[in-house]
Amino acid sequence: MQAILVLADGTIVEGKGFGGVKEVVGEVVFNTSMTGYTEILTDPSYKGQILMLTFPLIGNYGIPPFFESDGIKVEGLVVKEACKTPSHWQSDKTIVRWLEDEGIPGIEGVDTRALTRKIREYGVLPGVLATYEDDAGKPDVPEMLKKAKKFDISKIDLISQVATKKIERYNVGGNKTIGLIDCGVKLNIIRELNSRKINVIVFPPNTKHDEILRGNIGGLVITNGPGDPSTLTNIHETARELLAEMPTLGICLGHQIIAIAAGAKTYKLKFGHRGSNHPITDLKSGRIYISTQNHGYAVDAASIGNTGLKVTMINANDGTIEGIAHEDLPLISVQHHPEASPGPLDNKHIFDEFVKLIEKR
């Protein structure tokens, strides 16, 4: 099987195809993690994106059951080499078979380092990836280029494609219960809360604040997810009404939603932060933590004046905001992923701080 990747700037990359036989469109982004591809591919925040993994061999430990959702969420996959002979005691298939089973197209034999340099220099580029069996099925490249140029991720409702449609409960018999607004939650967020004997009620993203309050909850989490945070006006309104009601934790997209609800603004990063090796600085202690990240937007530091917000963490590479708190409200909000999966466990203490806020209340 063959494959073609066409970027909006006219770049055409040909390679060997694997996985599903289809054509997909999305933002082409890169992730620098060396391991954790099963967790990364099942992260709902990647909906609407064609993911390129910079590590040269992907799939060498097969597909063990380390998932962050019910299946693959990326639109397509770009790798240097997809391993055909994996080794792991929990694996039951290759990455090639996994993508085939889920109908997700992939391309290998690609110079991922050159493509990564291009994205770092010019910024995130929309693209179209197509796999095909023979020359008779070869796609129309000029038409692919038109689709790539037309694609605008900010105009697509991605959250509704990955978030729950109904209220779900994850009870562990604890004496504390929190509500979670699902914008595309990674399952390890729920696992981390449950491990602290916290019962979790998961609400669909557009649930109104009065229905959430009827859950008799002691705290609120607004989760990660895909897309442009500035377009989520319904969730902004709900968050604005709930921030003063209870202790709140925002993660990734949830962090951006909370900032907007408080009166700040967000902006699109040139190529985003995606990987499990991003250093962040805690401004109070001066300590450096290594974090897992997956986001293409950030909170505008110049916009937080007169919002009651204060910056608690910054990215040690580019100085962008990684954490905020409120001067008066019981609020913790982080741009990175404290639940990791994959990645280092440096930032799990964020969940412990959230629990302390609940207990204090």
Bridge-based pairing of strands 76-78 and 23-31 is: unpaired
**339 catalytic, yes or no?**
yes
For residue 15, give Cα distances in angstroms to 106, 117, 327: 10, 18, 53
Cβ neighbours of residue 176 closer than 8 Å, sequence gap 6 or more: 197, 198, 199, 218, 219, 355, 358, 359
Helices and strands, counts by H and E, the chain: 10, 19
Amino acid identity, position 118:
K
What is the rounded CA–CA span in Å between residue 234 and residue 173?
32
Could you write out the DSSP letters of every residue in 166-220?
S-EEE--S-SEEEEEE-SS--HHHHHHHHHTTEEEEEE-TT--HHHHHTT--S-E
What is the rounded CA–CA span in Å between residue 173 and residue 287?
35
Residue 340 in tokens: 């990791």
What is the rounded CA–CA span in Å between residue 234 and residue 225?
15
Altogether, the residues listed in the chain come to a count of 361
The residue annotated as part of the active site, out of 236, 252, 273, 326, is: 252
Which residue stretches of the chain are H helix? 37-41, 95-102, 112-122, 141-150, 159-162, 187-195, 209-213, 233-242, 253-261, 349-360
**252 catalytic, yes or no?**
yes
8 Å CB contact between 4 and 13: yes
Cβ neighbours of residue 155 closer than 8 Å, sequence gap 6 or more: none
Amino acid identity, position 208:
K
For residue 152, give Cα distances in angstroms to 44, 62, 75, 155, 310: 18, 33, 14, 6, 32
Residues taking part in catalysis: 252, 337, 339
